[in-house]
């Protein structure tokens, strides 16, 4: 928007108009607003990274628990099958 404007040839009113346009379009912001935005961005980034770490730990625990559940299921299936064979007199 302002790339083609020569700053050197502008009058003081023109420079004021350019500054007002920059403020209105969001290209020129107060330092406190910038610092607040940066701090908020850093907090969100840290929260995201903490969530990703917790999620990967949770996924690892879930995989381990599923493996234990499969082993338990195979054991219980074998026990019940053998119990049925013993009850019917096949063993």
91 CB contacts (<8 Å, ≥6 apart)? Answer: 82, 85
**pLDDT tens track for 47-69:** 999 999 999 999 999 999 999 99
Residues of the chain with pLDDT under 50: none
Residues of the chain above pLDDT 90, percent: 49
29 CB contacts (<8 Å, ≥6 apart)? Answer: 23
Q: Against a cut of 0.95, is the pTM above it?
A: no
């Amino acid at each position: 928007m302002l790339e083609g404007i020569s700053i050197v040839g502008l009058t003081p009113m023109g420079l004021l108009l350019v500054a007002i346009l920059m403020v209105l379009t969001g290209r020129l912001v107060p330092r406190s607003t910038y610092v607040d935005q940066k701090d908020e961005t850093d907090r969100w980034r840290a929260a995201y990274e903490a969530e990703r770490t917790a999620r990967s730990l949770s996924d690892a625990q879930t995989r381990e628990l599923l493996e234990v559940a499969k082993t338990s299921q195979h054991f219980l299936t074998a026990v019940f099958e053998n119990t049925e064979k013993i009850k019917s007199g096949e063993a």
